[in-house]
Amino acid sequence: MEFLRRLKLRCIWSWAGVVATWTSEHSFRSWVWANLVSGAVALILPLSPGERALILALGILILAAELLNTAIEDAVDYISTEDHPLAKRAKDAGSAGVAVAAIAAGVAWVVILIG
Q: Residue length, the chain?
A: 115
Q: What are the tens digits of pLDDT across the range 43-76?
A: 999 999 999 999 999 999 999 999 999 999 999 9
CB-CB contact of 57 with 105 (8 Å): no
Fill in the amino acid letter for 4.
Answer: L
The reported pLDDT for the residue numbered 45 is 97
What positions carry a catalytic annotation? 66
Residue-range domain boundaries for the chain: 26-114
Question: CA geometry: angle at 74 spanning 68 and 78, to 5°?
Answer: 145
CB-CB contact of 58 with 105 (8 Å): yes
* Whether the predicted pLDDT of 96 surpasses 90: yes
Distance (Å, whole) CA 70 – CA 24: 9
Architecture of domain 26-114: Orthogonal Bundle (1.10)
